[in-house]
Amino acid sequence: MVVLRSKNEIEFLRRAGDLAARTLGMLRPHIRPGVRLSELDRLVEEFLSSEDGHSPYKGYQPSPSVPPFPGTVCTAVNEQIVHGFPVSRRLREGDIVGIDVGVILGGWVGDACYTFPVGDVSLRARELLDVARQCLDAGLAEVRPGNSLGDVGAAIQELAEFHSYGVVRELGGHGVGRKLHEEPHVEHFGRRRHGLRLREGMTFTVEPMINEGTPEIRFLKDGWTVVTADGKLSAQYEHTIAVTAAGYEVLTPWYLYINEAEGVARSNPAG
């Protein structure tokens, strides 16, 4: 069942979403060659704790056949799409790394992802990052009462395939509230004017996973990490949003905090 949130409930979601966004901004100066994923995970755990929040990911076990997730954040390096473990692996110059931050604050969830370039990246990596970001924006532009989830998915699919990229179909966005995963399921492909009609008060994520090559995926033996079937790059950007009377509101405005962090880094190049 899709729950329509009150203004008061959306305010709680806004606070949780802002914490997720600020967490990504906090991480930006630490995304550099040589840093271990486990160090990024530690930084997030400490930051969330200092803000009276915690991650819904650590220890999360969707079914008995899958081991509990070991980290505070999900990471995805290069050909990894989602749900990679934040282990001792060091980032290298030219990598791209997606950091998926989940937050529980006061019993409400915030969920956001950003794919960072590590140092100087290749032209093909920069182009993928640019298009993946545009795909998120294209999907969001379709969010307003009366439109459908099919409109959102179609906009993403059309843009990605125009650039000859693949859109992952097996995984999608989801409703957000007091639980990390609620209704509705949000596909990032589809047909316009098909699917669930959007209504004011809906809260969900839009988080397209855009592959450089084939949309096909495979799971690693750890039961969690999803990678591209052809070993090519993948990028993801995610926002939690609320449907408003006029359109939508982004509840995880990471662009504010990441842009601020990058501006500080440019003004302090030795930092």
CATH code of 242's domain: 3.90.230.10
Q: Which regions of the chain does DSSP assign to beta strands (E)?
A: 74-77, 80-82, 96-105, 108-117, 166-167, 173-175, 182-186, 203-206, 209-211, 217-219, 226-228, 234-236, 239-243, 248-250
* 179 pLDDT above the threshold of 50: yes
Are 101 and 53 contacting, i.e. CB atoms less than 8 angstroms apart? Answer: no
Say if residues 48 and 54 touch (Cβ distance below 8 Å). yes
Average pLDDT over residues 191-204: 98
State yes or no: cis peptide before 184, omega within 30 of 0.
yes
Closest CA to 112 of 256, 222, 236, 243: 236
Domain count for the chain, please give it.
1
Mean pLDDT of 211-217: 98
Residue 87 lies in a domain: yes
Distance CA 22, CA 258 (A): 8
Cβ pair 92, 118 in contact under 8 A: yes
Task: Give domain status of residue 208, yes or no.
Answer: yes
Nearest to 125 by CA among 34, 214, 234, 259: 234
Q: What is the pLDDT of residues 111-132, one digit of tens each?
A: 999 999 999 999 999 999 999 9
**Where does the pLDDT of residue 133 fall: very low under 50, low under 70, confident under 90, or very high at 90 and above?**
very high
Domain that holds residue 132: 7-267
Is residue 147, in this structure, part of any structural domain at all? Answer: yes
Q: What is residue 148's three-state secondary structure? A: strand
pTM value is 0.95
Contacts of 62 (CB under 8 A, 6+ apart): none
| pLDDT higher than threshold 70 for residue 52 | yes
In the three-class reduction of DSSP (H, G, I as helix; E, B as strand; rest coil), residue 103 is classed as strand
CB 221 within 8 A of CB 233: no
Is residue 1 assigned to a domain? no
Residue 127 placed within a domain: yes
Could you give the CA distance from residue 241 to residue 140 in angstroms, rounded to a whole number?
A: 9
Tell whether 2 is covered by a domain. Answer: no
**Per-residue pLDDT, 266:** 41
Percent pLDDT > 70 in the chain is 96
